[in-house]
Every structure is written in structure tokens, then in C-alpha cells.
Structure 1
Amino acid sequence: MHWDPHKYVEYAGYRNRPFFDLTGRIAATEPALVVDLGCGPGNLTAALAERWPGARVTGVDSSAEMIRQARQRDNPANTEFVPGDIRDWTPPDGLDVLVSNAALQWVPGHQDLMRSWLRALKPGAWLAVQVPGNFAAPSHALMRALAGAPHWHRRLDGVLRHEDAVSEPQDYLELLLDEGCEADVWESTYQQLLHGPDPVLEWVRGTGLRPVLAALQAAEAAKFESEYATLLRDAYPESEHGTVFGFRRIFAVGRKLG
């Protein structure tokens, strides 16, 4: 699946805020090694490097486009970016802080990966994860319903797996506690005010709609987007202030005890 770094960073203020809400709960003071797993275009990895200038901060992403974009930034000297697949990644020795922001929803079975990472981390190390929890929202429910319609089902069967993409907050809390962590888990719903024509469509083009677009030819993709945009306009009507797009996110921060 192709990722467009420029499309991804649209609405950067709204997309970045959960990262800072997440990492604000990490109380590490002088970590030596920090990893941003699923780092995207690297702008938030750089923020970690600026927060902990004495640490070596590594951004990891499976997208060559994202890694290329990240390396082209004017990054702090203590930052590096490497390609890597979350499914195959293992914590390096001495890791102090592991952050994964809005990436694990793409990885089936990521809960088992989290367990394996926690078992490999040293006592005192931190794991901080944020995933979207809005898969039941109209934006995603309508996408799934349209993909399952008779005229799209053959082309899009099995492309979307949103129903089981993430767990509920209690599940992540129990996972962290079971693996011997001091845990902090919560959820927030951000009431995002978007502007312009079809703003919710523009939002999901950067993330949730990517698998659909990747599965279709250009003409098909344009037709799907047109039908989907009509459904979104009814679900998210524009007001005099703009279009309100509520977005639920789930946060889990754990510090390994021992």
C-alpha cells in the first residue's frame, strides 16, 4: 500500500495533538535509547529527539516514501530513520522508551506484539501506544458498507478489517498489567472542526481510505470516492462554523516494573 507523506500531514495540528497527549504521560527523564515505531514522515520523531537531546532516537517505518521524507527533514543530530516492518521488529538491548503513535491499527495481532515487546524491555522502560478508536463512527462504517455493496464487493472483499483493528481501553489496561507494568490507559474524543469541500473525505484519504484506493484502478477509485463523498456529506453536514468530525482515540502508557 502506497503512502503519501504530504497527504498524511494534512490537518497536522489535529493529527499531531494525540501524539503529544500520549508522550506527555511518559515520565522518563534521561533515556539513552528511544524508538518511534511507525514514525511516518518523522516530524514527531524529531520532537522526541528535541525533548531528550541526550538520547539516540530512532524512527522506524515500513514505508520507503515515509523514510525518504523523514531523512530529508532538518532533523536533530541525535535522530536516525530506518526502514522496518512492525510485525518483524524486536526491541534493541537497552531500549528505554518505545512509542507507537497511530500505527498498530494496521497490524493484525498487535496485542501479541505488545506483549512480546514488554517481555523484552528492561525494568523501568516505557511503552506508549495510541490507536484510533473511531471504527464505529460514520466515516468508517459508511466506508465498510459501501465496500460491501454488490457493485463493489467483488473488488473490495476483505480489504477493510476495521471491526477488529484495535482493542478497547480495558483490554489494553489488562494487557499492560498482566505484563508487569504500572499502567495509564484512557480515551479521548476530539471534536475536530474541518473546512473546505468534502473535508472528511480529505481526512480519510490520508489514512483509512488508503487500502481501498490501493485495491482499485484510478477510474474505479474516483467512482468509489464520489459515492462515498455523498454519504459523508449526509453524515457530517457543514454548518456555519465548518464540519465537525468527532474522532475517538485510545491511549495506553506502561512503565515496566521490576
Structure 2
Amino acid sequence: MKTDWNTDQYLQFEDLRTRPAYELLNRVAIDQSKKVVDLGCGPGNSTELLRARFPSAVISGVDSSPKMLDEARKRLPHVTFSLDDIATWKPEEKADVIFANASLQWVTGHSDLFPRLMQCLNTGGILAVQMPDNLSEPTHALMRETASEGPWAEKLSEAVKSRETIGSSADYYNWLADQSEVIDIWRTSYEHVLADAGAIVDWVKSTGLRPFLGPLNDQERQSYLEHYLGKIKQAYRPLKDGRVLLTFPRLFIVAQRKL
């Protein structure tokens, strides 16, 4: 069962989710751009950054979620947003910047995808990508563990395999090298201070937990979340003031197409 994104849930942590997009954009070394694409734009929080950075450019957002696009259109009514599968997306004309913040981790086949996206850029154009690299973190390991242990194990067998581990830094360098003038790759591990273990569950409900909750009925979903929360409480112990730290590694890639 495929479910659409919950925009309210996603935007509950908007500032923290937008910070990586802001830091990615700061490393995009291009002053003038005529056409900018936000690939996997979500509710438009990253598109808003692009609008401010490139005020004279034609900016468009692409996403596969109708609800996310509705939210983006409300936020930025003068930007063009379109419904499309980012795995197969191809622009009508080449772009100067393709920006993909926390979206390409949902797409498989990166060895083909990244070179293809480079071909969608004008000479000197920039591909800027940020992807969560957290499948080994307790948040995600415990999703899979909870799915495998409960009465819903058969229903969730596909969900356990729903996201591929992203490649190494060397992988992305090699996939981009033939077409790139400059490649900048770095990893950042954020330490998000959240209210408690329940806030961690709220964070991942709108992202990583979606494939696990979607196939379940209401009763199963509630039971799954109770079991998952119990494990999260054990993995993320309260700090001195009762809050918790959510460690969140992310991979950043900025590549400029050959001049």
C-alpha cells in the first residue's frame, strides 16, 4: 500500500530539516543561473532557499507527492511545481542547477542516476545533492527489527528492504568524475536536540517509518509504534534535562559539469 506524505508531520521539524539544504546551497559556487530545478522539492522549504539565492532564475520544483506539492504551491505561488517521478525525471531543457535535498536516497540505481542527472545540466552547471546516511543508526535498525519480530512480519517483509544503502564517497566520485570539472563531497553528522524519545518517533513517522506504517491497519500501526517507541527509549537515553540527542549522518555532493 502506497501512502502519500503527511506534510504537517514533516514540517513539525522544518527548521532542522531545512538546515542541511541551507548548508548544501552555501557550497553551490555559481552566481548567475537562468534555470534551477528542485528535484524532490517536498513542501517547498528548500525551494524557498533557491528562490532567495537565485531571484532572477526560472525555478521549478518536482515531487511525486501531491500533498507535498499542494503545500509547496501555497508557500510559493509564483513558482512552477510539477508532479513527476524523480527516478525517471528528465527536463524539457537543461538546467544550470539541479538541487536534490533529502530525496535521491529513495531512488535506486545511483550508478546510472547520477551521470544521467549530470547530462541534464548546461556546461558549468551544478548538481547539488544531500542524502540521509542513517540506515545503520538505531532509528532505522530498530524499524527493521520491530518489523521482523511482530505479527506483521510478513506484511512488512518488503518494507525491510525498501531503501538501499547509499554508496560510498568514492562511489559517487567515480560515477561523476567523467563529466565533472569539480567534485566536492563531505559528510556531516548532526546532533539534533529533541524533547524526548517520542519526538524521535514523530521525526521518522513522516520519512523512514512510512514504508513500515503504510501496509498496516490502524490497530497494527498503533501496536507497531508502541513496540518501536519502547526500543527507541532504550536506544536514546535521556540527557540531564530529559531531552535526547538524535544523531543524523548526511552525505553531501556538489559536482560541476565540465566547462
Q: What band does the TM-score fall into relative to the shorter chain? A: over 0.9
- Contact (CA 8 Å) 2:39, 2:86: kept in 1 or not? yes
Alpha-carbon offset, residue 196 of structure 1 = 4.2
> Is the 2:66–2:83 contact (alpha carbons within 8 Å) kept by the matching residues of 1?
yes
2:124 equivalent in structure 1: 124
Contact 1:8/1:207 (<8 A) preserved:
yes
**Aligned partner of residue 154 in structure 1, secondary structure:** coil
Please give the alpha-carbon distance, in whole angstroms, between the structure 2 residues aligned to 1:161 and 1:114.
Answer: 22
Separation in 2, partners of 1:39, 1:97: 13
Are 2:36 and 2:95, in contact at CA under 8 Å, matched by a contact in 1? yes
Indicate the larger mover: 80-89 or 182-191. Answer: 80-89
Secondary structure of 2:160's match?
coil
Pick which of 121-130 and 84-93 moved more: 84-93
Q: Deviations over 1:171-210 (max 9, x none)?
A: 1122221333410000000011101461211111121001
- The residue that corresponds to 1:187 in the other structure is 187
> Over the residues paired in the alignment, what is the CA RMSD in angstroms?
1.6
Alignment of 1:245 with 2:249, yes or no, is no
The question of whether the paired residues in 2 share the 8 Å contact of 1:183 and 1:254 is answered with yes
CA–CA distance in 1 between the matches of 2:204 and 2:33? 35
Deviation at 1:113, TM superposition (A): 1.5
Contact 2:22 2:49 in 1 (8 A): no
Alignment of 1:1-258 (within 5 A): 1-73=3-75, 75=76, 77=78, 79-149=79-149, 151-161=151-161, 164-196=164-196, 198-241=198-241, 242-258=243-259
Please give the per-residue CA displacement for 1:120-160, whole angstroms capped at 9, x wherever unaligned. 32210100011001110111111111112252321100113
SS at match of 1:155: coil
Secondary structure at the residue paired with 1:254? strand
Contact persistence 1:106–1:165 (CA under 8 A)? no
SS in 1 for 2:112: helix
With normalisation by structure 2, the TM-score equals: 0.94
Q: TM-score, normalised by structure 1?
A: 0.94
Q: Distance in 1 between matches of 2:55 and 2:100?
A: 19
Q: 1:7 Cα deviation (Å)?
A: 0.7
| CA distance in structure 2 between the partners assigned to 1:28 and 1:112 by the alignment | 25
Q: Deviations over 1:19-59 (max 9, x none)?
A: 01111110111100000000000122022111111101101
Does the 8 Å CA contact 2:192/2:246 hold for their aligned counterparts?
yes
Deviates most, 160-169 or 58-67: 160-169
Hey, which bits of structure 1, 4+ residues long, moved more than 3 A?
none
Q: Describe the SS at the equivalent of 1:87.
A: coil
Which residue identity lines up with residue 84 of structure 1 in the other structure? D
Cα distance between partner residues in 1 of 2:41 and 2:61: 5
- Number of residue-to-residue matches in the alignment: 256
CA distance in 1 between partners of 2:197 and 2:137 (Å): 20
Work out the percentage of aligned pairs sharing the same amino acid: 36
